[in-house]
Structure 1
Amino acid sequence: MSPTIPLSSIPVLPFSAADRLEFKFMGEGAMNFVFEVIVQPDDESSRSIFQAFLTFSIGNLLRVPKAGTKAYSYVELQEYWETVVTPLFKPEDLVQHQLVRLGDERLVSRLNAVLEREEDLRRADFKGSRVAVAEYGMVVEDMRQKNPDDLILEFKPKWLAQSPNAPPSATRCRNCAREALKHHIKRDNSSGKTQTTPILCPLDFLTCSTSPPALTNILNYLPSINPLLTPGSTPPTQYNRLIDWLQTNAVLPRLRSAQLANDRNGPLGADAHDPEKFQLAMTLRDCTCFVRIPADPARPVEAKLADLDKKNRTAKLEYWQAMERKLSEGGYYDGRDEGGAGTDCQLGREEM
């Protein structure tokens, strides 16, 4: 165990007094749940403990593992984040999180009761899953609105550089090729209907400061993430600050550099490559970026990366390699795929 996480010093949150707290289901993925912990206004003891953990956070988000998964333990995930991921970035680039002991099983019972009440609103393939009885959870920095008029953007930057395994003739980046394959599968499953909606090329994030088409593509795509991200719905000052962030931010170029530095050979060459570095590169290709643009122009724009959990290379390598072969052999990288699923990749635009 890394000395950065002395287990004896990990605090126990006062969740055993469950009747003093409320829990709100916020979301879930394949491996985890996120709840908001609502502290009663007169519970100064609980409030002071939360503030001591994450003084920069508004609200209290608790992340807990799902039962029945084969994910790494939270201790392993926190250690990986502290020792491998954080050295690549500035502290302000990352959504902060800290380990906490969950106390006894009463907390898990309370959280599962919340899930039961929310069952009808959950995604169909997640219904029925419950919180694991685990020793540790994480308190996570909250990147939601601090004020009602704050503007929030959440997206996955994905592969910010081409796959080392792409053919020299590629007119699509790794992400656009993957999207073309997904559209092809959807078309085959919907009686041959052709997908015509273009998708956002992630390479545009790196060139929008010098390429008007790249900036336009991003701005046209953002309303599909948040309907408020339009000139008519967003106050001009905030919208202009969003554009400025897209053109001048350092976190996405830093993320791209880290992806490149840790994968020179791609999934098909992973066995000949440093496996730990390749594992890190795939972690960096699946993170989420949160951007908060305050309504108050005196407050700075905040942009932070999250979802940087260690990838299970052993379990995923065969899938990653099979995907690379499918993209190349199926013509998805160079646009030879049957039906020509609509993409607007920057690589293809450069050749036009």
Structure 2
Amino acid sequence: MITVNFSESPHKRLSLATRTETRELVKLRYLAEGNANIVYSFTTTAKDALPDGVQRKLLRLRKEKSFIQSTKSQLSTFQQEFVPLFRPENLIEQTLVAVDEALIRRLNQELEEHENSELRQALRHSDRLATDGHGLLMTDMTARYGEYLFEIKPKWLLQSPDAPNDSKRCRTCALRLQRAHASAESAVVPKPGGFCPLSLVDEDIEERERAFQSITDAQAGDISKSSCTDVVNFLAEKGYQVLETLRKHQAHFDKHGLLNSNPDTLSDDYSKAMTLRDCVLFVKGSIDAFENTADIRLADLDFKHAHPDKVAKWTSTEKILVDQGWYTNIEIDGRIDSTCLLTRRSLPTI
């Protein structure tokens, strides 16, 4: 961990602490990272409480990669394009904080040290933080004592406009099976379990319950069965409404699909739709009183600009699903793929 100074005047700033520092000090702890960003949590250097400005916050810093927007641009796009679409309480809050270059250098040094001690995944080795002078303070959705957290990747909450009319699988389930088949380099027997994204927003409450139950079962750990039941009931009855809103916007920004569009003139709307199909929903609450404490927020709404390479990848994926029949097949080696809601509803009733 690295000791830093946090100041709020004249604006929020993080700087590497010195021995003569007299202002409030906190420590940054490496928490997690993805392809584009690294996330740090704040801890105290003593028994004192964290400064108000970083309480219940995480720090996200972007990596030095050519395809990643500057932090200021990321925040501006988030505020303009996605904040108006949802209730404020259903979004991870983001605020800008200045970050000194000396601190970034020290954090990059620490990343190298983590590689030597095998604390970072091998595929992340050599990734370093950018020195663009800013980071983002974000709502901390990690679970504390007496709380639990579930993470949901909603993906495509309605069928792809490019899917054939006689499809038996939704886009997410079709891609999941295609990738499993490609990885195995042979026929794949569908594995039981999992959930179909369409089930998360289905009109049938029992269908929603089955989907949310699958999620809680996979992530419950040592959480009691009764506590998980409370979460499932809450999400299926009213907590899923944020996903209904997400589905509505996915449909609005992609009415025609990719294969029927000109890749050279693809609008920002399609980029918004793809962003909304790759976000994460965090569900956190108290073990003792989940419904009264439930905190449900969308994260990872980083605008997916339609770069030609990215559009080519999106197009290739969609063509594979259509041309190879992954949307329309319902059997592999005689086994029924019953995870997808479309498949189950297309099977004959016995």
With normalisation by structure 2, the TM-score equals 0.85
Q: Show the counterpart of 2:22.
A: none
Q: Please say which of residues 212-221 and 308-317 is displaced more in the overlay.
A: 212-221
1:280 aligns with 2:272: yes
Runs of at least 5 residues in structure 1 that lack an aligned partner in the other structure:
1-8
Counterpart secondary structure, 2:197: coil
- Give, in whole Å, the separation in 1 of the partners of 2:72 and 2:336: 43
Question: 1:6 maps to which residue?
Answer: none
Between the aligned partners of 1:349 and 1:165, the Cα distance in structure 2 is 21
Alignment of 1:183-202 (within 5 A): 183-188=180-185, 194-202=189-197
2:317 maps to: 323
Letter in 2 for 1:219: Q
CA distance in structure 2 between the aligned counterparts of 1:74 and 1:261, rounded to whole angstroms: 27
- Note the 1:296-315 alignment, pairs <5 A: 296-297=288-289, 299-314=292-307, 315=309
User: What residue is the counterpart of 1:292 in the other structure?
Assistant: 284
Amino acid at match of 2:125: K
Match of 1:74 in 2: 71
Task: Find the partner of 1:257 among 248, 271, 290.
Answer: 248
Aligned-pair identity in percent equals 28
Show CA shifts across 1:19-50 (max 9, x none): 64422111111111001132324778xx44xx
Cα shift at 1:65? 1.1
One-letter code of the match for 2:346? E
- Provide the residue aligned with 1:245 in structure 2: 235
**What is the aligned partner in structure 2 of residue 13 from structure 1?**
13
CA shift for structure 1 position 225: 3.4
Paired residues in the alignment total 327
Q: Is 1:171 matched with 2:171?
A: no
Q: Is 2:327 aligned against 1:333?
A: yes
5+ long unaligned stretches in structure 2: 1-8, 20-24
The worse-fitting range, judged by mean Cα deviation, of 304-313 and 114-123 is 114-123
- The 2-side partners of 1:110 and 1:101 are apart by 15
Structure of higher RCO (CA pairs closer than 8 Å, 6+ residues apart): 1
SS of residue paired to 1:118: helix
Q: What CA deviation, in whole Å up to 9, does each residue of 1:160-209 have, x standing for no partner?
A: 01000000010100000100111111221xx76645344321111012x6
Structure-2 change in CA distance of 1:68 and 1:280 (3 Å):
closer
Which secondary structure state, in structure 2, belongs to the residue aligned with residue 121 of structure 1? coil
In structure 2, C-alpha distance between the alignment counterparts of 1:206 and 1:30, rounded to whole Å: 29
Deviations 1:241-278 (A, max 9, x none): 44222331220100000111111011223438871111
Q: Distance in 1 between matches of 2:86 and 2:29?
A: 31
Q: 1:220 aligns with which of 185, 195, 214?
A: 214
Q: For each residue in 1:266-303, what CA deviation from the matched residue of structure 2 results, as whole angstroms up to 9, or x when unmatched? A: 12234388711111111100000000021242842110
Partner of 1:33: 38
Q: Partner residue of 2:201?
A: 206
Give the counterpart letter for 2:191 in structure 1: T
- Over 3 Å counting, the alpha-carbon distance change for 1:217 and 1:238 in structure 2 is closer
1:268 aligns with 259
Residues 176 and 199 of structure 1 are in contact (CA less than 8 Å); yes or no, is this contact kept in structure 2? no
Q: 1:200 to 1:235 in 2, by over 3 A?
A: closer
Q: Does 1:98 align with 2:95?
A: yes
Q: In 2, distance between residues paired with 1:255 and 1:10?
A: 37
Higher strand fraction: Structure 1 or Structure 2? 2
User: How many Å separate the matches in 2 of 1:108 and 1:226?
Assistant: 36
- 1:162 matches 2:159: yes
State the AA in 1 paired with 2:279: C
What TM-score do you get using the length of structure 1 for normalisation? Answer: 0.84
